[in-house]
Amino acid sequence: MCGIVGYVGQRRATPVLLEGLRRLEYRGYDSAGIALAGSPVQVHRSVGRVADLRGVVPEGLTPKTGIAHTRWATHGGVTLENAHPHVAGGGKLALVHNGIIENASVLRASLRAEGVVFESETDTEVLAHLIAKCLEGEGDPLAAVTAALQLVRGTWGIAVIFSALPDTIIAARNGSPLVLGLGEGETFLASDPHALVPYTRRVVYLQDGDVARIQSSGIETTTLDGAPRSRVVETLEAEWAEAEKGDYPNFMLKEIHEQPAALRRCLSGRVVVQEGRANLGGLELSSRELNAFRRVGLIGCGTAHYACRVGAMAIEQLARVPATAEVASEFRHRNPVIDPKSLYFAVSQSGETADTLGALKEVQIKGGHVMGVVNVVGSSIARQCGNGVYIHSGPEMAVASTKAFSNMIASLYLFTLQLARARTLAPYEGRDFAQGLMDVPDLVEGFLAKKLDVARVVEWLSECRSVLFMGRGLSEAVAAEGALKLMELTYIPCLAYASGEMKHGPIALLEEGSVVIVVAPDDEVRDKTLSNLQECRARGARVVLIHTEGDPIAEEADFAIAVPKTSRWFTPFLTVLPLQLLAYETALAMGRDIDRPRNLAKSVTVE
Ligand code: M6R
């Protein structure tokens, strides 16, 4: 989603800002721009990629202070006028903004009545003019920003430069992340630490309600009421340095192949196989407390939600605690009953997904107990929860989530083991589960090491009007994840159904040549899925089957892909791999943008 970069220091700001924007490209955007200190402030914007912006920014610009933005359209279409930064006060200030100003239309009307002329349709321009108005009254830029923010409702991560203050950026946060990077005689600002990695590891995460004065000599943070607020300087984790493509053609392929290493990192130090138990220190829960929970609720969006569905099945069946997986955007708005004796998990790769954050706050407001299962350390969800589990996938840059899915399941399985052993699971059962989990990275590595030739399936899929995915039990969630991957990367409509539901509707879609992707590892529901597979073939569909190595079920398919044998709980780690690769290869063959599919953003920070 939208990205912010800012710089104030001794270097020329433009190259730092453009490189920062390039590093945030993975988040998804449709226009970009920079503003540089001066009188008036100067702004350069373009629709399209950061490379297009480079083309319109003049060479050799000397200002040493500036802000920059990549915009993912929400209020208003993808136009040059709507691109940030927005200027107000006749060039006295320029503003970049992530988030949404909810009362923008009312404020726009009253500013218009006072004679303000708007150039864009954006809520951000409203805030820019509001700050300019406050500046007329207050005189001081920081006071003007805080006064304007008192008048708006909504979410923001903002950075503002003023013609009167060439060595200063004013930033503020409420619901949209901002992180400051501290260098020697220079200070950086970004919506995502990835933009800071080349310059510094010393960072300060702004919190909701913070306002910061950012100068080359350092930073000062206050509340919106002007009260001083000290913030700790943290060190950016080494994992952020991994976030370059290396020898891979794109991030998605790199991230698929990183799964064994990412899984090892997630499991490392958290499993005691001999005792058949796991220990997630970040939860800070004793066995007594684990025993007291009556239910577990897992909340997430998209891929995270599918990982939650796998996790919920494991928790319920192994720990014998009722568990549900919920779509965060539904959960937060349905006025859920929160049982204080339940434990909730907010599951998110980015840790910034607005719906998941909203849902967890709803749990907290109602007195519930919620923890994070998050990848990005220090992200909003991780901070809001306080306690939780980091999944340690390392930076995931491709919009299509892959390694985070595996690590979310691994993390939820670690919790399952900890919970189940504290309740009903016998040591020998715990040992089997722990050993099975520890074996997963090698199995994943073994599968990924072999070349998967799916050219024939790619040809079928590229010509499909729609694709059906099906599976049962754990494989139903995997099928849903496979459908999401293929759909978001190729734009082919994909439906995922529980195999048993096919005959209640979706089977009507099938005709000669339709493609059905069936996930049927050798588990206790395999035979049931086999019947559904046969029903599809009988209606002329071509069946692509993901199955366990050596299983004769392969003969029932038009195209069969074998994955290594493992016990049922660990099949999702393996059956998802061919689905990720099929989506990848098909998108490649169709000439799609692999890392940045259209209309999508990596972290969805709006509702
Ligand atoms: O960062 P999160 O895990 O909270 O993101 C949730 C979804 O937006 C995300 O999984 C999305 O569905 C991906 N594009 C799926 O590949």
On the 0-12 / 13-18 / 19+ scale of CB atoms within 10 A, 269 is exposed
Name the E strands within 377-457: 388-390
Q: Residue 158: what pLDDT?
A: 97
pLDDT tens-digit readout, 18-62:
999 998 888 778 899 999 999 999 999 999 999 999 999 999 999
Q: Is 2 a catalytic residue?
A: yes
Q: Residue 604: what pLDDT?
A: 81
Q: Residue 241: what pLDDT?
A: 66
Tell me the CA–centroid distance for residue 303 and ligand 1, in Å: 5
CA–CA separation, 571 and 475 (whole Å):
8
**Report field, pTM of the whole predicted structure over 0.85:** no
Q: Which of 251, 256, 349, 389 to mutate to test the pocket of ligand 1 (most atoms within 8 A of CB)?
A: 349
Q: How far is CA 393 from CA 173, 178, 409, 439, in A?
A: 27, 22, 11, 17
Write phi, then psi, for 60 (nearest 5 degrees): 70, 20
Q: Which of 251, 298, 301, 580 to mutate to test the pocket of ligand 1 (most atoms within 8 A of CB)?
A: 301
Catalytic residue among 254, 403, 485, 602: 602
End-to-end Cα separation, the chain, in angstroms: 12
Who's near 331: CB < 8 A, 6+ residues apart?
299, 359, 362
Tell me the CA–centroid distance for residue 486 and ligand 1, in Å: 14
pLDDT tens-digit readout, 518-574:
999 999 999 999 999 999 999 999 999 999 999 999 999 999 999 999 999 999 999
CA–CA separation, 83 and 73 (whole Å):
9
pLDDT tens-digit readout, 407-429:
999 999 999 999 999 998 999 99
CA–CA separation, 303 and 404 (whole Å):
8
Average pLDDT, the chain: 94
CA–CA separation, 283 and 389 (whole Å):
7
pLDDT band per the 50, 70, 90 thresholds, residue 242: low
Neighbours of 193 (CB within 10 A): 26
Mean per-residue pLDDT, 496-523: 93
Tell me the CA–centroid distance for residue 349 and ligand 1, in Å: 7
pLDDT band per the 50, 70, 90 thresholds, residue 202: very high
The more confident residue out of 211 and 193 is 211
Tell me the CA–centroid distance for residue 155 and ligand 1, in Å: 20
Nearest CA to 179 out of 400, 382, 356, 397 is that of: 382
Q: Is 602 a catalytic residue?
A: yes
**Residue nearest atom 11 in ligand 1 by C-alpha distance:** 302
pLDDT tens-digit readout, 352-385:
999 999 999 999 999 999 999 999 888 889 989 9
CA–CA separation, 424 and 601 (whole Å):
42
322, two tokens: 């009722």
Q: Residue 29: what pLDDT?
A: 85
Q: Residue 602: what pLDDT?
A: 81
Tell me the CA–centroid distance for residue 407 and ligand 1, in Å: 13
CA–CA separation, 159 and 190 (whole Å):
9
Mean per-residue pLDDT, 454-475: 96
CA–CA separation, 36 and 316 (whole Å):
56
CA–CA separation, 241 and 249 (whole Å):
18
Q: What is the tally of helices (H) and strands (E) in the chain?
A: 18, 26
206, two tokens: 């702004």
Catalytic residue among 2, 266, 301, 385: 2
Tell me the CA–centroid distance for residue 309 and ligand 1, in Å: 14
DSSP 541: P
Name the E strands within 9-64: 31-36, 42-47
Q: How far is CA 124 from CA 57, 70, 102, 107, in A?
A: 22, 13, 11, 11
Q: How far is CA 346 from CA 332, 374, 464, in A?
A: 12, 8, 36
Percent of the chain with pLDDT over 70: 99
DSSP 539: T
Distance of alpha carbon 218 from the chain centroid: 30
**Residue nearest atom 4 in ligand 1 by C-alpha distance:** 348
CA–CA separation, 235 and 99 (whole Å):
26
Who's near 441: CB < 8 A, 6+ residues apart?
259, 260, 261, 263, 264, 267
Nearest CA to 158 out of 222, 229, 101 is that of: 101
**Residue nearest atom 16 in ligand 1 by C-alpha distance:** 400
β-pairing, 542-548 with 559-563?
parallel
Q: Which of 374, 594, 604, 605 to mutate to test the pocket of ligand 1 (most atoms within 8 A of CB)?
A: 604
β-pairing, 295-300 with 342-348?
parallel
Neighbours of 232 (CB within 10 A): 7
CA–CA separation, 309 and 360 (whole Å):
17
**Residue nearest atom 7 in ligand 1 by C-alpha distance:** 302
| 35 half-sphere exposure, CB direction, 13 A CA radius | 30
Given CA atoms 73, 60, 94, 187 in this order, what sign does their dihedral have? positive
Ligand 1: residues within 6 Å at CB?
A: 301-304, 348-350, 353, 356, 399-401, 484, 488, 600, 603-604
User: Mind listing the domains of the chain with CATH numbers?
Assistant: 3-236 (3.60.20.10), 251-448 (3.40.50.10490), 455-589 (3.40.50.10490)
Task: Tell me the sheet residues that pair with 235.
Answer: 202
Nearest CA to 471 out of 542, 414, 544, 399 is that of: 544
Task: Tell me the sheet residues that pair with 7.
Answer: 66, 188
Identify residue 176 by its one-letter amino acid code: S
